[in-house]
Amino acid sequence: MTSRNAQIAAADRRHVFHSWSAQASLDPLPLAGGLGCEVWDADGKRYLDFSSQLVNVNIGHQHPRIVEAIQRQAAELATVAPAHANATRARAAELVLEQAPDGFSKVFFTNGGADANENAVRLARLTTGRDKVISHYRSYHGNTGAAIAATGDWRRVPNEYARGHVHVFGPYLYRTEFWAETPEQESERALRHLERTIQAEGPDSVAAILFETIPGTAGILVPPPGYLAGVRRIADEYGIVLILDEVMAGFARTGEWFAFEGFDVRPDLITFAKGVNSGYVPVGGVIISDPIAAAFDERVFPGGLTYSGHPLAAASIVASIEAMREEKVVENARAIGQDVLKPRLEALLDSSPLVGEVRGRGVFWAVELVEDRDTRAPLPAARIGALKADLLGRGLLPFFAENRLHVVPPAVITADEANVGVDLIEEGLAAIA
Ligand code: PLP
């Protein structure tokens, strides 16, 4: 008899077209349920979720309060057009803003992180009257862009922006582009590179700097001291809007509500998604500083979405932020980072020759896997695949990006669960060494 897993996998392979993949060789893990930091497949095998799925389930799986809030809202009013006012949406915006710094009093809701960044860029371009956007080579900001350029009516005209993207290298001391030997050198030289790029591009043409506060998918690249403060200074000097992408880093991941609270910087626009409601319903948004919001008091904002501020998403945001506050989820993520993940992952540097560097904070860590510590040559894909299979076999659901194991469990993880997960990683590394 075929297992339930096999049936689901077969149905998936018949009809589901997957993201970022050549389709023929896919073998997706069928997941059927979850609770807290655990998920299980359709045949009942359990996994400790050290991925938070796509680094978004910060509150853990099936939090009863969020599930119930969605059910209650669905029974009351399951959908409402963005042009109407709705109490749940207004409350969601209010709660998001309570976590933001002073000087932010509006939220524009989107369907996810990519369109949050699209709309932040749109706000920056319209308020500065400039086009170019500078971001890091090592970054991920989402997968959209052509939809509005393909549109035929007036909404296309103020949005034909498939141009003007400039990239710079950001700090990454372990694989420095700047021949730096210290974090301070890396920071100073990356800032000079950024400023020289702006000067060469023409400062009057640069609308926005769009950076992840801590680049996530690119390797959890915690910025060195002074870098983000320097970025702020440069943005101010040239009249550029600073957008910080908090889609992955925000809402407890780093042990702060927003990752930038851990650095000496305040952005003009903040984009969020993922952790704001742990993905129970798709949602994202832009938190808008007052001067930028005021620019649209009398002027039309040429952007919108059918599901902007969808009530099921809004209900899940309200419940999620309330639960995070009451259960001290942000504080938990910070403590787990300091007391368990930092010391235990750093100890892997001694126990495994495959570990080249460990970096992160909160429940946001990267273990850089190398085949040679001196050359820092990345561990080849085949050995990464072997480690992934080994960890799955041990009951750990890991997250890999290139040659890195990203240790990104839910922010509600207990010290015991975190220790079990790191034990399994230690065993897996020993098995493939
Ligand atoms: N920004 C960052 C930092 C992300 O990590 C992601 C997704 O991983 C996005 C934006 C895009 O978000 P979404 O997939 O919800 O469009």
Same-domain check for residues 45 and 129: no
Residue nearest to atom 10 of ligand 1 (CA): 141
Give distance in angstroms: CA of 2 to centre of ligand 1. 36
Are both 47 and 119 inside the same structural domain? no
- How far does residue 431's CA lie from ligand 1's centre (Å)? 33
Tell me how far apart the 2 most distant CA atoms of the chain are, in Å: 68
Q: How far apart are the CA of 217 and the centre of ligand 1, in A?
A: 9
- Residue 386 Cα to ligand 1 midpoint, Å, equals 27
* Alpha carbon of 118 to ligand 1 centroid (Å): 11
Distance 114 CA to ligand 1 centre (A): 6
Contacting residues for 252 by C-beta, under 8 A, at least 6 apart: 58, 59, 275, 324, 329, 330, 332, 333, 362, 363, 411
Confidence at residue 264, expressed as pLDDT on a 0 to 100 scale: 87
Cα–ligand 1 centroid distance for 418 (angstroms): 25
Contacts of 230 (CB under 8 A, 6+ apart): 187, 188, 191, 194
Question: Are residues 306 and 238 part of one domain?
Answer: yes
* 276: CATH: 3.40.640.10
Q: Do both 206 and 345 map to the same domain?
A: no
For residue 162, the model assigns a pLDDT of 65
Would you say how long the chain is, in residues?
433
End residue of a domain, out of 327, 360, 390: 327
What number does the ligand 1 atom closest to the CA of 217 have? 5
Q: 168 with 248, same domain?
A: yes
- Pairing type for strands 132-136 and 104-110 reads unpaired
Of 300, 327, 354, which residue is a domain's last?
A: 327
* CA 249 to ligand 1: nearest atom: 3
Same domain flag for 302 and 381: no
**Which of 141, 258, 270 for a ligand 1 pocket mutation test, highest count of atoms within 8 Å of Cβ?**
141
Ligand 1 atom nearest 55 alpha carbon: 8
In terms of domains, do 319 and 306 share one? yes
User: How far apart, in whole angstroms, are the C-alpha atoms of residue 397 and residue 400?
Assistant: 10
Domain final position from 294, 327, 360: 327
Residues 85, 146 within the same domain: yes
Measured from the Cβ of residue 185, the count of other Cβ atoms closer than 10 Å reads: 16
Distance set, CA 38 to CA 132, 396, 421 (Å): 43, 9, 11
Q: Are residues 229 and 371 in the same domain?
A: no
113: CA distance to ligand 1 center in Å?
Answer: 5
Tokens (6 digits) for 406: 């990203």
Across the chain, which has 433 residues, the per-10-residue mean pLDDT values are 88 94 93 98 96 98 98 98 98 98 97 95 96 93 78 76 86 98 98 98 96 97 98 98 98 98 96 98 98 97 96 98 98 98 98 98 98 97 97 98 98 98 98 94
| Single pTM value for the model | 0.96
Check whether residue 347 and residue 261 sit in a common domain.
Answer: no
365 and 255 both lie in a single domain: no
Residue 343 is part of a domain; what is its CATH number?
3.90.1150.10
Q: Which ligand 1 atom lies nearest to the CA of residue 117?
A: 10
Distance of CA 248 from the midpoint of ligand 1 (Å)? 7
Ligand 1 atom closest to the Cα of residue 113 is 12
What pLDDT shows up at residue 160?
75
Structural domain of residue 46, as residue ranges?
4-62+328-432
Ligand 1, pocket-test mutation among 52, 115, 140, most atoms within 8 A of CB: 140
Ligand 1 centroid, distance to 160 Cα (angstroms): 22
Both 341 and 307 in one domain: the answer is: no
Strands 396-397 and 46-49 come out as parallel
What is the rounded distance in angstroms from the CA atom of residue 276 to the CA atom of residue 111? 12
Which of 274, 276, 277, 286, when mutated, tests ligand 1's pocket best, judged by the most ligand atoms within 8 Å of its CB?
274
Report how far ligand 1's centroid is from the alpha carbon of 140 (Å). 7
Tell me how far apart the terminal alpha carbons of the chain are, to the nearest angstrom.
Answer: 37
Residues flanking ligand 1, CB < 6 Å: 112-114, 117, 140-142, 212, 216-217, 245, 247-248, 273, 284
Q: Which atom of ligand 1 is nearest to the CA of 215?
A: 3
pLDDT of residue 135: 94
Q: What is the DSSP letter of 327?
A: T
Q: Which of 312, 265, 316 is nearest to 58 (CA)?
A: 316
Index of the ligand 1 atom closest to the CA of residue 139: 3
Nearest partner of 241 among 266, 260, 259, judged by Cα = 266
Name the domain count of the chain: 2
pLDDT score recorded for residue 62: 98
From 243, 247, 305, give the residue whose CB has the most ligand 1 atoms within 8 Å, as the site to mutate.
247
